[in-house]
Amino acid sequence: MSRDLLWPGIVMSSTVAMIVVTIIGLGPPIAPAVALWFVFVCPGLPYVRLLELREPLNEFLLAIALSLSIEAVVSLLLLWSSAWSSGRMLQVIIGITMLGAMLDADRTVSGRATAVRPVVTGEARR
């Protein structure tokens, strides 16, 4: 697996873990750890990776901010439409997260990701 596909894989695995924890109803210490990781990082990380910032710390911090912002907007939209429930909120956030992970993986696989590659000159090819 390509190193660039590592983060989409982690995000998708974390999303599946969140679904499993929710369905099974696991308690502490597993459920809070999975939920905190998922809520704080996963919804925003794939979209931040699309920006290709090249600074891991900046990407991670921006992912946290974007994750919380996405969740706040979704929560407000559900509340204003009188459709808010914790289950529906989780479903929408999971959908947004999986869409972002698929976009990130597609960008990586299709080669649209700009990778830092050495320039090969004519003499180096010989």
pLDDT in tens, 84-101: 999 999 999 999 999 999
Which residue range is the domain that position 51 belongs to?
A: 3-111
Quick one: pLDDT band at residue 7, thresholds 50, 70, 90? confident
In whole angstroms, give the CA distance from residue 22 to residue 69: 22
Specify the number of domains making up the chain.
Answer: 1
Q: Does residue 41 fall inside a structural domain?
A: yes
**Cis? peptide before 29, omega within 30° of 0:** yes
pLDDT in tens, 8-44: 999 999 999 999 999 998 888 899 999 999 999 999 9
**Residue 100 in contact with residue 46, Cβ under 8 Å?**
yes
> What are the residues whose beta carbons fall under 8 Å from the beta carbon of 62, sequence distance 6 or more?
44, 48, 51, 53
Q: Does residue 104 fall inside a structural domain?
A: yes
Q: Does residue 122 fall inside a structural domain?
A: no
Question: What's the predicted TM-score (pTM) here?
Answer: 0.81
The pLDDT value recorded for residue 2 is 58
The pLDDT value recorded for residue 114 is 55
